Amino acid sequence: MTTINDIMKVEGQFYASLGNGKAALEHAATMINAVVTSRDTTVLRKAIKRAGQKGDDRAVQALKLIIRNVWPGASYSKDGEIKIKGIRADSDAVDTMNTLVSDGVSLRGTLLQQAYKSATVKEFDVQVWAKRMHKAHGDELEAMIAALQALRS
């Protein structure tokens, strides 16, 4: 089990290794594996914040991609806190991440994107779209329905 001091050391190593994509992914995987067991996302929040402060937007996006896949349905609060309460870690996504690390893939590389691509493709959800349109254009709901029915014929 990783102790608090160890994971803080890994966080520092992640920040220091942002110039080396392979090492950065290795340290990110260590942090994510620690969060899977401890359920404390503080280290990931700090890693995302520090990468953003360093101006490494691709590292931030890669971390968020991994987090979205490891914890489907995870949310972010305005202060950057990652909320995974009640969400189980996807063991396939964790295995994929660990395989990428052992294969020497870069945090910013296309192989990471491709590995999680199939999981990030969202299917069109009609109910979500309808609620969004109702909220944005509630007073024009009948006109939208008529326009959609006209397109059908």
What does the pLDDT average to over 123-134?
85
- The pTM assigned to this predicted structure is 0.71
CB neighbour burial string for 71-110, b if at least 16 within 10 angstroms, e if fewer: beebeeeeeeebebeeeebbeebbebbeebbeeebbbbbe
Q: What is the pLDDT of residues 24-83, one digit of tens each?
A: 999 999 999 999 999 999 999 999 999 999 999 999 999 999 999 999 988 888 788 899
Check pLDDT > 90 for residue 109: no
Map tokens 């971390």 to a residue: 63
Tell me the backbone φ, ψ of residue 76, rounded to 5 degrees. -120, 135
DSSP-derived 3-state class of residue 82: strand
The CA-CA-CA angle for residues 40, 74, 2, to 5°, reads: 25
Please report the pLDDT score of residue 5 as a whole number: 65
The span from the CA of 37 to the CA of 89, in Å, is 9
Higher local confidence (pLDDT), 116 or 41: 41
Check pLDDT > 80 for residue 146: yes
Tell me the backbone φ, ψ of residue 104, rounded to 5 degrees. 75, 30
Q: Cβ of 135: how many Cβ atoms within 10 Å?
A: 8
